[in-house]
Structure formats: C-alpha cells, structure tokens
Structure 1
C-alpha cells in the first residue's frame, strides 16, 4: 500500500500535468496562443455557471460589513488591506447598481469590538462611494465583532418587505471576533428571518464564518490576492436564488417624469431627499421627479417616496432588472473550419481566422469572438444577431 501511495504522488501535481498536456507550441514555437486559449476558456466558463429555471429575487436589500480592525493594516494586499478593500468595493457598488438598479445597499463598519452603520440602506451609488472613501482616513483599531455586526444588519433588514431578498456580505480580515454573547443564537435568528449571509476572508478560513454561510445559505471564500478578492466580491452582483417560501406580492410602483425648469415656471421647492440637510448649496430648484401619488419632489431615481412610501423608478431601471429573470442562453463553442471563406464576428466585425475560440448563437447561427461573447452575456444581455433578425421581420 505504501508503494502505491508513493507512485500516485501528490494531488496538486496531477493538475500541472494536465495543464502541460493542454499547452502546445504554435507554428512559431511560442506558447502565447495556447495560454490565451486557456484564459479565454476560463472566462467563458463563467457564462455556464448560470442557474436556469431558478427563481431569483431582483429586489435586493444588502448590507456590506467591512472589518476595520487593526488586522486591516497588514500589507499583504497592497498598499494595505483596508485601501485594497475600499477600492474594490467602489467598483462593486457601481456594478451592483448597474445590474440591480431597483435594489438598496448599505455599509456597516466593525472595529474596537463595536459595529456602526457607515451608510444607511439607499439606492444612490455616489453617496455610498463617498462614505467608503471617508473610511480610508479613519483609524483601524481593536478587534471586530461579528455578532454585533450581524445583529445591527438584521435589525435594519427584518423590517424590509418579505418579497425582497435580504443579504449580508462580510469582508473579514481578522482571525478573531469579540462577541458579547452566544453567536449561535444570532445564527438561529438570521436563519429564521431568512437573511442570507456570505463571508469573504482576507487571511485564512474561520470555522464560525463557514458555519455562518452554511446555516444561512450564503457563500464563503478566502481570497488569494487582490484579483481573486475582486472576483469573489463581484460574484455577489448577480441576484441569489430566492428562498423557497418567499412571499409573492404585487408591488405598487410609480413612474414619474422628470420636470425641467421650463415645465414648472416660478415654482421653487426643495426635494425630499435634501429636506433635512442642514445646508443646501444650490438652494431650491424647479426641476426634479414628482411622485404621481402625492406630488413630492425627488432629485433621483429609483427611490421610495419619503411622503407616501411609493416606490419610484423609471422604465429603464425595471428593464435592466428584468434580464436576470430570463438570462441569455450561453453560446456554443465551434471550431474554425480550415480552408473555408473568411468569417467575421457578427458584433465587432473582427476577422475570426486568427482566433482559436469562436462562439455561435444557436438561435440566429451568428458567430462571435470571445470578447464580444463576454460583453453580450455580462453587459448587453441581448444577442445582436437575434435582435437584427427580429427587427428585419417587423
């Protein structure tokens, strides 16, 4: 038995053997084309991770818990863990609201055995990014408190409507947590309130963090470097699968039109967004979005009316969230036909003769390069060939 184990070798060695079998030299004796092919296939693998026929929650309420303990001053992520996380979270906030425009996001900071709300739940990405940038100059001291952070997030999420998903994403750098009580009771409360908790570790795996993710149906991962940390963070941009007994309810939504200065001559008023602001630099304005139910003015969409509580949004916001329910099917991989006529990408019109990986839409039979394939599925969400065929029929 000992000899058999020695012949098998280590498990990680077999992975490298398979990699070297795939990599082959081209006609010029270079490996660039094989490496580029491996990278392209790894990118396309993300498109096949979609969950068809799974009910999703497109209206999301999420709190991001940021560890601001003294462990964030470690420089394994340059320049420090804190600066790296803030920079990645800025891109995450923009991507989150681009893919989930009718959702809300908040920031919680935990340090010195406490947890505080740095930014309340809201739908304004610029305001959230401003609060994140302020955290770059704040001191990082003491130990984090995972229990206090979860209790604080649960207190704000439990009052949210049951037809929307409730999520917590924790970025934790410390290997310890200082909690005032039994955190297992907090886990039971989170599971009872159907709050999905995910944890991204910056240092090493923690049993309590993995247990938290498993009990609440979330995801857990430990980053290897800054690029891996960005990938782990962006996985939470896509809406998660809805819980089995999530309530299905009709939602009253208002679609207000934007009133310019010419539409409302002589009527100056403050918007409800800045009504409680101590000092408003621009003063009252004539433009804004008027709630169709109570005619309260708001300066941005989407937002919940501060007077009557009606959800206000625009039609493009609803359309951008609609593609999560009916995602575009992944394109199939086809091989380049040798000796045939030159073929071009149906989107960017680039020549496909020099590319080893080509994608094809099964509905319209159009060919696409790898970059256009990723752009169509991750950003556009509409096949240009199918759209052109449909418009031609009309």
Structure 2
C-alpha cells in the first residue's frame, strides 16, 4: 500500500508540473509568435491580380506626413514635454508585435531622438505608471541620452495592475507649473489600458491643466476612452488610437513639430541665452553637470563653468546654453517649406528628365505601361517657387531632414 501511495503522489506531481508549464506558455506566448508578421496587410492584389494599387498606396503613405499646414503661424519652439508611458498589465498584450510594451519602448526611443533633432532647444522628461502609482524616471533635460538610458533600464521591468492617469498628470503638472512662460507645456501619454486607478476626481486635474495652459495628447493602444478624449479636447491636444504598428509610429511622430501658440496664451518676451565656447584641455578636469573628469567640453559664458554637452541649462547659474546650429534647426518650424505638388502625366510642360537633387531619371510614360510604376502617379513633384522637379525620395528628404529646397537655394546663389 505504501508503494502504491508513492506512485500516486508521483503521478500527481508530474501533472502539476505540466499544468504549470502550460500556464507559463500561455502567459509568455509561443516562440513563433515573436516572428509572426501579417504579410498580407502589405501586399494585396486587386481584382485583376495586379500589385499596382499596393505600390500606389505605399507611395501615398510615404508622403502623407508631408501634407501639413505650412502657414506662417506662431509656434513655441522652446518646448517642455513629459512623456508618460503605461506599464500596466494591459501592455503585455500581443496585438502589436512583439508586444505592446516592447514596441512602445522601441518607438519611444525613436521619438526621443527625432524630438530633440527637430527641437534641439527643448526639454523632455519621462514618467511611468503602473499599479496605481506614478514614477518619474528622468527629469526635464535637453540631453536625449539621459532619457534613452532611463528607458533601457525599464525594458526588463515587470508590468503590474492598472495605470494611474491622475497621479501621472499631477506629477507632471507639479513640474511644468514652474516652467518659464516663454516655453510651451506639453504632456504626451502612451496608454494601453482601458481603465485607470485614480485617488481623486480627475476632472479637477483636467481643469487645473486647462488653467495652466498645459497641452495633453494621448496615443491609445486599445480603444477610444472617453476621459482621454475629453481631456485632449479641453487642453487642445490630439488623441488617436493606433490601428497597426505603422500607424502607431505615425501618431507619435505627428507630435514632433511644435504646436501653435495663441497670442493670449503667451506674451512675447526676450530669453537670455549663452553661446559657450568649446575647449579641449591637455589634462582632464571635473565638469559641473556630472562631476566627472573630462578633457573636452564647453565653458559657460556667464560663470565659466565646464559642461559636457549642448544644449543644456548651466547647473551653476541656470543660464540656457545653446549653439547657433541648434537655433537654426528650430527656426525652420516658424517658416516651413511649402509642400511640393505632384506633376501629372498629361502635363505638356514636363521638360526635366532627371530629379534636380539626386539626378536620378524620372520614369517615362512608356515604361509605365510595362508595369514599372502605377499609371496614376508620375513619380515627380514640383516646387511652385523655383519650378524644379524632384523625385519622391528627395521630396521626403527635403521636408523632413534639410527643410530647405535645393532649387530655391541654387537660385539665390
């Protein structure tokens, strides 16, 4: 009887181990799910079995971010933004590959780099929320690497409970209320949960955000939430729900250009800035920002302290330190380049055969009939100011990177 009892316990033990392995597999997902991609969402045939419509859609998607308002309006080029990331249990869903959390952290790093590239004299901080509380993992800084290092430390962090929208907003608001009036105050929330755990009335928090001119934008990963929609509407922010991975990135990058500023919100005033000179010492000396020995660096124009990188605020005298290229990159937001117009096939005045910028030949109408490109698009775009023609790749590069038309610059010189 004792042997049978031992065999019975052994059998029950093996069954429990199998159940535990199966439970862990259901929670973490199978290995093949990590490499799973919906390829049919990219390539779709039309009723004639042709991929012509797919190529046309890809080209239109490539240029759709270029069609924005190019009117000369007042914008706050000195921005102060808090990035709030949801780390609740809802972020472990795999409807976005490989998971909501992994994709969010990856896109957040790309967003930070592009944000500081287009807004070099701005600042950004990061807050994460889970389990009903909020945690600030980086303070407002003009160095993108400080924020990226803070994000990488959170990649192996476990998710927990529900996010707290009110705690996150109050933490960001307590810092933004001390920002000078010449800088814009913004909050960007990446939220995957449909619920929030708040200690008080969140409508009072929204009213405080409106009174203090703090703009809140939300990118939802699951579905539309009414409180987020109301908050964005009252604070004049944007709210969007992602459809797929590409749409997620588009919604994030739409927030990179600085928002317009009304005359009643901010009054024009002078901002004191310093342009420090670079130094390269023969022997290392301590910097004022990290207290680490460095050979190269910059000397503050007011207190002559040594700092590592630009742009930043001097840790001693709190003077804003920038360089002339930083101001030049921020200046293009105030006077954006006009959108190029597509040149149709039936335009008889089409004379250039090569792109003005890269000198790559344009597709010919005869080559179109062979199936090289769709017949609906000519693949060339014209600047109405200098009348030069550009290919689609140069069109995107001009509007997203250099922000100056090569044809207009060549006409000036």
C-alpha distance 334-273 of structure 1, shift in aligned 2 (>3 A): same
Q: Which has the larger radius of gyration?
A: 2
- Match of residue 313 from structure 1: 322
* Aligned residue among 343, 363, 366 for 1:353: 363
Structure 1 residues 30 and 122: CA distance shift in structure 2, 3 A:
same
Q: Which runs of 5+ in 2 are unaligned?
A: 1-44, 365-372
Aligned partner of 1:185 among 191, 194, 204:
204
SS of 2:154 mapped into structure 1: helix
Instruction: Tell me which residue corresponds to 1:14.
Output: none
2:143 paired residue among 124, 136, 142: 124
Aligned-pair distance for 1:51? 4.5
Q: 1:339 to 1:167 in 2, by over 3 A?
A: closer
Gaps of 5+ in 1: 1-22
Structure-2 separation of matches of 1:382 and 1:209: 37
**Which of residues 79, 90, 94 is equivalent to 2:109?**
90
Aligned to 2:18: none
In 2, Cα distance between equivalents of 1:179 and 1:310: 38
In structure 2, what is the equivalent of residue 141 of structure 1?
Answer: 160
Matches within 5 A, 1:2-21: none
CA contact (8 A) 1:194 1:243 kept: no
What is the CA–CA distance in structure 1 between the aligned matches of 2:246 and 2:126, rounded to whole Å? Answer: 22
Write the deviation string for residues 60-116 of structure 1: whole angstroms up to 9, x where unpaired.
000010001111111111222111100010110111011000000110001111001
How far is 1:338 from its partner?
A: 6.9
Q: Is 39-48 or 89-98 further displaced after alignment?
A: 39-48
Partner of 2:56: 37
CA distance in 2: counterparts of 1:174 and 1:344, whole angstroms: 50
Match of 1:252 in 2: 272
| Count of equivalent residues | 355
**TM-score for both structures, normalised by structure 2:** 0.82
- Aligned counterpart in structure 1 of residue 262 of structure 2, from 232, 235, 243: 243
Q: Distance in 2 between matches of 1:388 and 1:230?
A: 34
Shift of 1:357: 2.9
For structure 1, which segment, 95-104 or 75-84, has the greater mean C-alpha deviation from structure 2 after superposition? 75-84
User: Quick check: 1:147–1:183 contact (8 Å CA) kept in 2?
Assistant: yes
Give, in whole Å, the separation in 1 of the partners of 2:157 and 2:349: 63
Matches within 5 A, 1:188-207: 188-207=207-226
CA contact (8 A) 2:70 2:336 kept: no
For the 8 Å contact 2:70–2:339, the answer to whether it is kept is no
Distance in 2 (alpha carbons) for counterparts of 1:243 and 1:148 = 28
Offset, 1:376: 0.3
Task: Find the counterpart in structure 2 of residue 371 from structure 1.
Answer: 393
- What residue in structure 1 maps to residue 125 of structure 2? 106
